[in-house]
Amino acid sequence: MKLFIKHSKYLLLLAVASTIASSCTEVYDGHTKLSEEVLVVRALLTNQDEPQKVVLQNTTGFGQELQQQPVRFAFVYVENQDGEKFTFSEQEPGVYVNEEIQAEENQQYTLRIELRSGHVYQSLPQELNPVSPLESVYGFYDSKLTDIPDNMGEPIPTYMEGVEVFTDLNTDDQFSNLIRFQPEILYQYRERIHFELCTLFVPHDHDYCTIYSADDPPILHCRTKRPLKGDVNLVDPEFESVVGDLYQHSLGFVPKEKKHIPLSFNGSIDARILLTNKLGLTDEAYSFYRAMKEQLAADNALFDPVATQLEGNITCITEPGKIVLGLFEVSGSEKQSFVLNKEPPVPGDIEFNEIPDLSFLPEHRCFLETVPEFWVLQ
């Protein structure tokens, strides 16, 4: 007894420490994986005059390394309610393209996919939900905690300064707010490059770069696009800020930093251009993206809701009940571009001015010594 009292403090600490230390997690390998692969469909049909794409791939078993597994040699077509068929041809493995079709209002479309295995998949009829262009885009200077990957790829929460970008949407009509955005930021920048880098741009003309001296290196004009938000940007009345009759909807955060664009220390950004694509969704598409957003946002902490399943609008008609994933989306689309008034952005003086749309520009491209077409001047 006396011995216990003498050492009670240490015994108490030991017991509490063991309670806390004993609760833990470990990787669990015990669950059964399905052997059969499942078809995933990503099909987007818009009213834009641009090539329309259907991407077919197979799933990867959970826990395995995620790999692109294109589904090849499929017969893919879209049929409208008038019986007109638009066939999509495989342009690259698993990517099927049609350059003729352009979705129209008051017209229903059905996607049909016939695989070499004999399975036939078909979507529910989808009707285009038209959208109106954005009336304005505005922003506030702010600082925000963002995960920045370190050298090992580990996300490190870091405060970044930048501009939070918003647009206003009318709260009146629920149907008109079945909307998702695909906002991107287009960085337009210049930098002087050294001889070796210069030769990479003109590999066919070895002498070209010799005309430049080290004191007067050539200038590279580049444009590169980055998505503004990593996950799904959906208008969700539950989470929108309401100002009067309007939703103040966030399009994303434009960081002031240059770290995430391939820019050397002596380069400078000329302009930051916001590219917006506003897409009007059907009920099924909206539910799909909402579920996707919830799944992506889930931390799966202890008391979090159970799994969110993504229910698509495609079924297998040759084998009812066979799982098929993905979505056939027919959406009205409005693409617009806005340039930020100051570079770098200045607190208290943030404006976005609309310019002709530049969303057609490729993801990344540089021009040596030549100011490219559509170069925006501040």
Partner 1 sequence: MFYLDQWFEDTPFTRQLLDYDLSHLLDTLTGLHPVTYFEKGSVVVFLPLEGLGEGRVRTIEHKIIVGDEADLGRYTSARVTGTLRDAQTHSPLTGATVQIINTTHVATTDIDGRFSFRLPVGEHRIKVSFIGYEDLYRDLYLYSDGEIELDLFDDIVLLEGVTVSARRSGGSVGGTRMSMISMDSKAIRELPVSFGEGDIIRSFTLMPGVQAVGEFGSGFNVRGGSTDQNLILLEGMPLFNSSHLFGLTSVVNSDMVSEVDMIKAGIPAKFGERVSSVMNIKMSEQDLDQQQINGGVGLLNSRLQVKSPIYKDHVSVALSGRSSYSNWFLENMPDNDLMNSEADFYDLAGVINIKPSDRQFFSVFGYQSEDNFMMAAQSQYNYKSQIGSLEWSGWLAENLRTNLTVGFSNYFYQVEENLSTNFGNAYRLNSNIRYQSAKWNFNYYPTDVHSLEMGVNSISYRINPGHIEPSHQDSYIVPNKIDQENAAEFAVYVSDNINISPQWDIEVGLRYSFYQMFGPSKVFKYEPDQPRSPLTITDSIVYQDRESVARYHGAEPRLSLRYGWDEFSSLKFSYNRIHQYINLLSNTSVMNPSDIWKLSDTYVKPLRSDQFALGYFKNFAQNNIETSLEVYYKNLQNVVEYKNGAQLLMNENIETDLLNARGYNYGAELSIEKLSGRLTGWFSYTFSLSRYRTSGEHPEMQINRNEYFPSNHEQPHNLVLNANYNLSRRWRINSTFVYSTGRPTTLPEFAYEFDNNQIIYFSDRNKYRMPDYHRLDVAITWDQNLKKKRSWKGSWTLSIVNLYARKNAYSIFYQKDTPSNQNDFRHFSLYKMYIIGVPLPTLTYNFSF
Contact by Cβ (8 Å): 315, 324: yes
Nearest residue (CB) to partner 1, 211 versus 306 = 306
CB of 100 vs partner 1, minimal distance in Å: 24
Of the pair 191, 236, the CB lying nearest partner 1 is at 236
Q: Is 332 helix (H, G, I), strand (E, B) or coil?
A: strand
For the CB of residue 245, give the shortest distance to partner 1 in the complex, in Å.
Answer: 16
In this structure, are residues 276 and 137 in contact, taking their beta carbons and an 8 Å threshold?
yes
Backbone angles phi, psi at 217, to 5 degrees: -75, 165
- Judged by beta carbon, residue 200 or residue 242, the one nearer partner 1 is 242
DSSP bridge pairs for 251: none
Whichever of 130 and 217 has its CB closer to partner 1, that residue is 130
Tell me how far, at minimum, the Cβ of 204 lies from partner 1, in Å. Answer: 34
**Residue closer to partner 1 (CB basis): 33 or 206:** 33
Q: What are phi and psi of 120, to 5 degrees?
A: -120, 130
Count of CB atoms within 10 A of residue 166's CB?
20
Least separation in angstroms between CB 218 and partner 1? 34
Minimum Å gap between C-beta 214 and partner 1 is 40
Taking the complex as a whole, the smallest distance from the CB of residue 137 to partner 1 amounts, in Å, to: 19
Closest distance to partner 1 from the beta carbon of 231 (Å):
7
CA distances from 168 to 103, 242, 360 (A): 26, 9, 25
Quote the least distance from Cβ 31 to partner 1, whole Å.
Answer: 5
264 and 200 in contact (C-beta within 8 Å)?
Answer: no
Pick 59 or 80: Cβ nearer partner 1: 59
Query: 378 CB contacts (<8 Å, ≥6 apart)?
Result: 270, 271, 339, 341, 342, 343
- The amino acid present at 351, given as its one-letter code, is E
DSSP-assigned letters across all residues of 278-303: EEE--HHHHHHHHHHHHHHH----TT
Within 13 A of 275's CA, how many CA atoms are on the CB side? 19
* HSE-CB for 234 with a 13 A CA cutoff: 22
Q: DSSP letter string over 226-242?
A: EESSSS-EE--TTT-EE
- Which residue, 192 or 256, has its beta carbon nearer to partner 1? 256
Decide whether 149 or 372 has the Cβ nearer to partner 1.
149
